[in-house]
């Protein structure tokens, strides 16, 4: 197991403090980041792990709706408070708030459901795309660049991500379009716990989704005046898939304006099943705006 993957799993292994008020309290570490800010996908995944621990095992998460309230400090731990909002015959609802220094940095609501039979249909997975094995990894693309963020993306992330079109790390090549596709999977084998794979998917869903906004406007990550921050994030799990097997993450941005960009994503497995849908709005600014 690689060090980045071990660190990822350690980050999701929350501590139950044993404290009980009207909420369940857990604590967890933050992963180091070159910019000093907590990665949004990390705190989303941790919040889900906290909520899962308060729900009956037969109830599975099917959606989250969260707001990023403040930047998190990657040098400090995080406290998670879970409010058991509702337990019905089939559904359970939980609100997790993530705190640092006594103030919330994320507030997110999760919905869980006992697995049931019902209607089944989905959109089709895009066809004719290169296979992930035929595409360069982040290590291939970034290993020659001597920069803290390049080193982090190349060697310290727990996921292998391979762009169907060229990545936008240093420049935006080709036509400025508001869509892209990325193959992703964990760097190594994950434990068999299905909830861990769902949390891993929440984690990875925050990596690249706003790049569809950036690509449309020709903004690479290396833009010196780029300012970005996730504002809110929603996700729906439709079917189960392992996060340590290749998944195709398609992303598109229907709109940007007012200093904000909006993006939608769909995650498919290699068999063409739609695994999850994602929506996010973020602050996206360049120049003096």
Nearest to 182 by CA among 123, 221, 137: 137
Instruction: Give residue 1's pLDDT.
Output: 39
The answer to whether the CB of 132 falls within 8 A of the CB of 183 is: yes
| Whether pTM exceeds 0.85 | yes
In the sheet that holds 159-163, the strands lie side by side as 15-20, 24-28, 78-87, 91-100, 103-114, 59-68, 227-237, 274-285, 260-269, 247-257, 179-186, 159-163
d(CA 103, CA 86): 24
Instruction: Give residue 147's pLDDT.
Output: 82
Distances 266 to 97, 100, 125 between C-alpha atoms, Å: 26, 31, 9
* pLDDT exceeds 70 at position 289: no
pLDDT tens digits, one per residue of 11-41: 999 999 887 778 999 999 999 888 899 999 9
pLDDT tens digits, one per residue of 96-135: 999 999 999 999 999 999 988 899 999 999 999 999 999 9
**Residue 261, phi then psi, degrees to nearest 5:** -125, 145
pLDDT tens digits, one per residue of 120-174: 999 999 999 999 999 999 888 888 887 878 888 888 899 999 999 899 999 999 8
The residues that are catalytic are 206, 230, 280
DSSP state string for 105-156: EEEEEEEEEE--------PPPP-SPPPGGGS--HHHHHTT--SHHHHHHHHT
């Amino acid at each position: 197991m690689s060090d980045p993957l071990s660190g990822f799993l350690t980050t999701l292994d929350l501590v139950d403090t044993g404290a009980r008020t009207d909420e369940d309290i857990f604590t967890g570490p933050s992963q180091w980041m070159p910019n000093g800010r907590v990665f949004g996908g990390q705190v989303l995944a941790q919040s889900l792990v906290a909520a899962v621990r308060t729900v009956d095992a037969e109830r599975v998460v099917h959606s989250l709706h969260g707001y990023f309230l403040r930047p998190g400090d990657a040098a400090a731990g995080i406290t998670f408070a879970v409010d058991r909002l509702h337990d019905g015959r089939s559904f359970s609802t939980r609100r997790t708030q993530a705190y640092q220094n006594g103030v919330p940095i994320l507030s997110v609501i999760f919905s869980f459901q006992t697995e049931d039979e019902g209607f089944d249909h989905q959109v089709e997975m895009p066809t004719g795309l290169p296979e992930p094995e035929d595409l360069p990894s982040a290590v291939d693309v970034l290993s020659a660049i001597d920069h803290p963020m390049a080193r982090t993306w190349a060697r310290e992330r727990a996921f292998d991500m391979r762009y169907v079109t060229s990545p936008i790390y240093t420049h935006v090549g080709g036509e400025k379009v508001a869509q892209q596709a990325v193959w992703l999977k964990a760097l190594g084998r994950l434990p068999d716990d299905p909830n861990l794979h769902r949390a891993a998917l929440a984690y990875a869903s925050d990596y690249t989704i706003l790049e569809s906004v950036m690509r449309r406007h020709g903004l690479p990550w290396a833009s010196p005046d780029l300012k970005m921050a996730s504002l809110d994030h929603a996700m729906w799990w439709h079917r189960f898939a392992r996060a340590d097997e290749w998944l195709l993450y398609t992303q598109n941005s229907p709109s940007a304006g007012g200093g904000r960009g909006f993006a939608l994503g769909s995650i498919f497995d290699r068999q063409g099943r739609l695994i999850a849908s994602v929506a996010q709005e973020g602050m996206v600014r360049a120049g003096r705006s």
